[in-house]
Structure 1
Amino acid sequence: MGRLYRGTCKICREDFAARSPSALLSKMSKHRWKKHLNWMKRRIREGKAESEENPTVQDFIAALQETPGRAMEIYETLRERDWMKLKRILDAIEDLMPPQMLYTWKAVEAFHDARTR
């Protein structure tokens, strides 16, 4: 016999057991959708609302085209994961950028480097 994996619902404290981690997660997910539907819907709504508040790469690029101040405002709200994604994209298109946009990008990049050291 294999190992028995155990889990507990954080909402109603119901216990679950399964022979594999994936089976346990499946049981718990089915339970949440069946017994705690409103809670699941609320979590999804909150996640969507939170993601709309976060700036995207496209928002930052649009700000780079406008003014350096606007680009810095958006930079302040970026998470590290978003910064890494943005840096990969902008490093790839540096040769195609207009000079003013490139200067702003280099300034923001230098600011980030100085800030993280």
Structure 2
Amino acid sequence: MEWFDVEDDLFWKRLLILGIFLNIIVLFTSDLGLDTHVRLASDESTGDLPWGSTRPIDSMASDPANPGTLSPDYFSAHSSSTISIITLSTALLLIGATWKMLGVRYAAIVSIYPT
């Protein structure tokens, strides 16, 4: 007796829906990465970090007078919810493109792959 009929398209569509659902859950329950937290904490206009330099290699890292900065290309004025929406949109676009080019089976595999 076979538990799952992998030749049935309904199986792959259910797996695809499960993968999309899991991506949405992970999006709202997982923390953002360290680099994203650092960029979100920087001052929007100057890129100053409230705790100083982020790298212990920096000789000025222990100096409280040195604010530590990020270059303007790397700090972000986006909120964490904006980043979550962008991430979900990117995942859905990738899943949709895979479905269009390769079919529902590959799209289902892409949807359950941890991103």
Q: Same fold (TM over 0.5)?
A: no
Calculate the TM-score normalised by the size of structure 1: 0.28
Q: Between Structure 1 and Structure 2, whose CA radius of gyration is higher?
A: 1
Calculate the TM-score normalised by the size of structure 2: 0.29
Higher relative contact order (CA 8 A, sep 6+): 2
